[in-house]
Structure formats: C-alpha cells, structure tokens
A and B are shown apart, each in its own frame.
Chain A
Amino acid sequence: MSSQPRVVIVDDHHLFRSGVRAELGDELAVVGDAGSVSEAVAVIVEQRPDVVLLDVHMPEGGGVEVISRIGAEQPSVRFLALSVSDAAEDVIAVIRAGARGYVTKTISASELVEAVRRVAGGDAVFSPRLAGFVLDAFAADRSHDEAPSPQADRELDQLTPREREVLRHIARGYMYKEIALRLGISTKTVEAHVSAVLRKLQLSSRHELSRWAVQRRLVSFDGT
C-alpha cells in the first residue's frame, strides 16, 4: 500500500460522520460519506473506495443491506463494521454478510486508523468483544452437538487450538504484534489465523451460529 487507503463513511448520524472524518482526515483519504443505505450504495459505486466504514444500525436495513447490495458487484470494496451495539446477533449478522471486521464506536482514532489499514490490506479486524463472541459461539456449538452432522464441513465448524489461542489473546486486549511475540509466530501468521476464523464465521453453514446469537440475547442467565 503505497498510497493512503480511500475510505467512505456510512452512518445515519451526521455528527458521528463528521467526527470520524475529522479523526481520520490526516491519516486516510476520506472520499465520501453517506447517511442512508441508498446514498451509501450510490457513493460506493461512484467512488470505489478501498474500505467502507459501515454503521450496523441504519434505517432501510442497515449495514447488512449495504453489503448485500454492493458485495457481489464490487468484491474489491471491503467493509469494516462500526457500531455502538454489542448485541451478538447484530455483530454476527454483519460479519456473516461479509464485513471484514467489527469495532465499537468507542475505539480510539489511532486504533481505528490501524483497523482501516488492516482491512484495506485484506486482513480481518476483531475487537476483543467480537473475539469473545466467536469463542463463545464455537464453544456453544461444540457442547451442543455431540452427534457430528455428517453433511456439514467439519473443518468450518471448529476452531483450531491455535486459532482459539489467538482469539483468546485478542479478547484479552492484545494487539497482533504482541500476540505474535507471545506465541512465537510472525504477525503475518497471526493475521492469517484471524482471517481463517473470519472465513469460518462467514462460511460455516451451520444455522447454530445465528441461533446462538439470538439465544444469547433472549435467554437471560439464570445462574444455574
């Protein structure tokens, strides 16, 4: 990446858009913004940015709708979901729609720049919370189906021990560089692991994943 990644910001809150624009302005090339799904589609088609910062919650279907309208036509455009929501079903939904990462809106400016660069470079970006969700989801799957479903692709349904270890470190608040150092692997390898997890998250054909996300919200824990 010799040049700065070109970014489009999509969020229905005008204040938030201008805030992010100001924060990213020096480090990245913000080439457009949009406040609705249809606006977003128009701007993205026109500008062909590298990365779209995408709000999860918007009228007319939100981030998922934008991804589904753009994704097939312009596979070179990458999406980074940005949300105030921590609800697991939102996060899982936008990732499964095709976003390459998920961060919360409280993220600091420098971390956001870093995340955008990473997504522009084709890697995945997991916030600690998303890492926690993924660990939880795959752990829940593992305990729920003792009888392996023969038609499902087993490889997609499970995390390798190494991937689990990497996710655990992300959930603990470590950066990729630090994780690489601690596990004695290269940063590239860490990135590869995270991308593999992202792929599993998106491609795993099991409906359990979505069901888990919904259940997590609906079932309040009873202490037993």
Chain B
Amino acid sequence: MASAEAPLEQPRSPAPLRRRPERGLIGGVCAGMADHFQVEVIVVRLLMAMIVAIGGIGVAVYSLAWALIPIAPESEDLPRRPGAWREAVLMVLGVVGVLVGLRLSGLPIGYAVVWPLVLGVCGMALVWRPTVSPSSSHPRRVSLREFASRSGRIDVPRLVLGALLVAFASASLLHTVGVLHSLGKAIGAVAIIATMLSLLVGPWVVRLGRSLASERAARIREQERAEVAAHLHDSVLQTLALIQKRAGDPREVAGLARRQERELRHWLLERPTRTDHDSVATALERAAAEVEELHRVPIEVVTVGDGPLDDGLEAMVQAAREAMTNAAKFASSAHVDLYAEVEPERVEVFVRDRGVGFDPGAIPTDRRGVRDSIIARMERHHGRASVHSTPGEGTEVELVMERSSAA
C-alpha cells in the first residue's frame, strides 16, 4: 500500500525519515522507514518483527524510533487507518508466540537482562517523546485547545508511566546484578542531596525557563513583524511611490491601486498562487486580473462553488476572458461583473457590463470575436453561450457548460 501512495509525494524523491501514523499499524514507524528507504513496507515490518523476536530488543528499537522520529507534517491531522490496531495486536501476539516458542526450545537468551533493558528503553521513549514532538521542533499555528490537549493532559500520565517503567527496569537490573541491598544507603544520600539542590536552584530554573519562553515568543513576534514589513516594503510602498509619480494619470493610478489591492488581498488571505493545477475559480480570477491589467477596467469576480479545470472548462474560461475583454474594450463601462457558479452538474458564467450595449442582431458583421471566440468555442466543447444586450443598457454574456462528461 505504500508503493501505491508513493506517487503522491513525488516532488521530494528521497523522503525524509518521518512517521506516517495514518498508514502504519502502531505508530507508523515502519511505514515511514519504508518511505525513506524506498522499500516495501512489509519488508521493514518483517525485519522489525525479527528483531523483536530475537530477545525483544526490537521493542526497544521501535519505541525509540517512535519517540525520536517526528510525524510527517502531512499526516498530522489524518485519521488512523481503520483496523490498524487489530493488525498490530495480531502482530504482537505472533511475536509473543515466537518468543514463547524460543523459550520453550531452551535457547539461552538471558531474559533476566534483556527484558529489563527493553522495559527501560520503552520508558525512556515515553518520557522523551513530548520533547521531540513536531509541534515544538517546527512552529505551526495550533489552536489553543489543540495545544493544551497535546502538551498538557496527555503528557502527565505518559511521563509517570515512562518513569515507572525506567525505575522498575533499573531496580530489576540491579537486582539481577545483585547490588540492590547495598544500594539503599547510597540512594538515600543521593535523594537528600537532590532535594537540597532542587530547593536551592529550583525557583531559579523555573524563572530561567519562563524568561526563555517569553524571549522566544518575542523573537517570533519580531520575525513576523519583519516579514510583514518586508512584504509591505516590496509591494505597497513601491506602488505608493509609483502612484505619486503618476499622479497626473487617473486611469494609471486606479490600475496601480487595483493591482496592489488584489495582490495584498491574496497575501492576507494566504491563498497560494498556483500555476500547476488550477481550479475554475482561480483560473477565472486570473483571467479577470489579466484583462483588468490590459484594459484598466475594474472587474469584480464573484464565484460560488469550485472545481478542477478540464478541457471544456478551460475553453469556458477562455470564452469568459474574451467576453471580459470585449466588455472592457468596447462597452465603456465603469466596471464589469463576472459571476460564476460551479455546481456538480454544470458550470455557469455571466459577464455583465453596464456600458453602451449593442444590437445583438449586428453580431455577424462587426463582432466576429463574439461569434468565433465565445459562441463557437463554447459549442465546440458542448457548451452554450448567449449574448443579451440592449443599446444603452449594457451587455451580458452567459456561458453554460454541462459537467456530466467531466471526470
């Protein structure tokens, strides 16, 4: 299943080592490793199971990997694969079966040493995990509730469990080695010293931690401010300078202001400007922006719904572009309205101006552009175009494309 989904992230060929919990059985470690080393996930799983079977070290290896490898950012909010837990339990049962089998066969593997080690490392993995979670290593906008649930409530039991595991493992190891009884006094001494020390320096450490955190927050704020300032400088201030220079030309000034407005809006709404795969709405918006730029007539674009472009819709956008160009060039209208409604069954686009209008009966002779590039283009792609115009009241071009054939 890993290989089937691999093409999804083809831009980065050597995928960084990241866990993919949504594809994994337990924590997505094997799935992530399979991505990284570009092998089938089942190979990694078998290897892992074998390491687990040989005395249980694999459990420790897995736990460490789970703790230390961050989640892939794109898998963070994805739900886990249904049934993954069942598969994981089956796998664990299988491994336990193999272990019991080995034990019965009487091979000397030294469980008295191995299992405490395994438990200890598992405990450490639990304790370390929160400090290397991706939310702290690369800042991401997280809602307050999400943040609280991530670092507050869940972590306390995890820390306690981890610490207990480590303590238990150390105790049983020490017991095995046989130094437990003489250790009592030493532990007492260490505990007393530790208590004194923590009483002495504890408040200072806490204060240091707090001031570090607030310093970090200030630094992030400062970075954000610098980024905003840089953007404003590159865009808005430049445009304002241009506007001052061209103050004598109202059309030019309006055009500059309009372009800057559009750009700033995009930036504020953080909509990435895409070129690779476009939606109907973004393609229409871009076409409108181009026409606006060329002919200096503001075009108001309103879209309802959205969908991916196909050949027919591409042609439709071209036709709409032509209609906007006509409106901007010939109608002498103060502005042009474009309205597009993308529904599952069909797409409709209306381009309306409030300009001089014309007699639709006169199209064949002097407006070949309308016939060829709008009506004929739409009909070639099984769409429809109609032009409604009344002299003195403006023009509306209506484009309709059924989407039943669209994939």
Contacts and interface: CB of A to CB of B under 8 A. Distances in A.
Interface string B340-357: 010100000010101000
A86 B265 contact: yes
Contacts of A221: 271, 279, 281-282, 306
Contacts of A132: 302-304, 339
Nearest to B302: A132
Contact of B337 (A87, A136, A139, A173): A173
Instruction: Give the secondary structure class of B's interface.
Output: mixed
A5 interface: no
A150 interface: no
A171 interface: yes
Contacts of A220: 270-272
A168 interface: yes
Contacts of A86: 265
A217 interface: yes
A114 to B, nearest CB: 14
Contacts of A136: 304-305
A149 interface: no
B272 A168 contact: no
A223 B308 contact: yes
B279 A108 contact: no
A134 to B, nearest CB: 9
Contact of A131 (B282, B298, B302, B308): B302
B305 A129 contact: no
Given A220-B270, A223-B278, A129 B350 contact: no
B306 A171 contact: no
Interface string A164-188: 0000100111100000000000000
A135 interface: yes
Contact of A139 (B278, B281, B305, B354): B305
Nearest to B344: A143
A151 interface: no
B380 interface: no
Given A132-B303, A221-B306, A173 B269 contact: no
B274 interface: yes
The range of chain B's interface size is 20 to 34
Contacts of B272: 220
Contacts, number: 56
Given A108-B334, A128-B300, A223-B274, A173 B339 contact: yes
Interface in A55-90: 86-87
B304 A173 contact: no
B334 A128 contact: no
Given A171-B339, A223-B279, A139 B304 contact: yes
A135 B269 contact: no
The range of chain A's interface size is 20 to 34
Contact of A172 (B265, B277, B396): B396
Contacts of A139: 304-305, 343
Contacts of A174: 352
A96 to B, nearest CB: 19
A224 interface: yes
A104 to B, nearest CB: 9
B352 A172 contact: yes
Contacts of B341: 135, 168
Contacts of B274: 223
A136 B334 CA distance: 27
Contacts of B350: 172-173
A168 B300 CA distance: 15
B337 A128 contact: yes
A172 B255 CA distance: 23
Interface string B300-324: 1011111011000000000000000
A173 B352 contact: yes
B398 to A, nearest CB: 9
A87 B269 contact: yes
Contacts of B309: 223
Nearest to A84: B261
Nearest to A132: B302
Contacts of B269: 87, 217
Interface of B: 265, 268-272, 274, 277-279, 281-282, 298, 300, 302-306, 308-309, 334, 337, 339, 341, 343, 350, 352, 354, 396
Interface of A: 86-87, 106, 108, 128-129, 131-132, 135-136, 139, 168, 171-174, 217, 220-221, 223-224
Given A139-B305, A173-B354, A221-B279, 11 more contacts: A106-B298, A128-B302, A135-B341, A172-B350, A173-B339, A173-B350, A221-B271, A221-B281, A221-B282, A223-B279, A223-B308
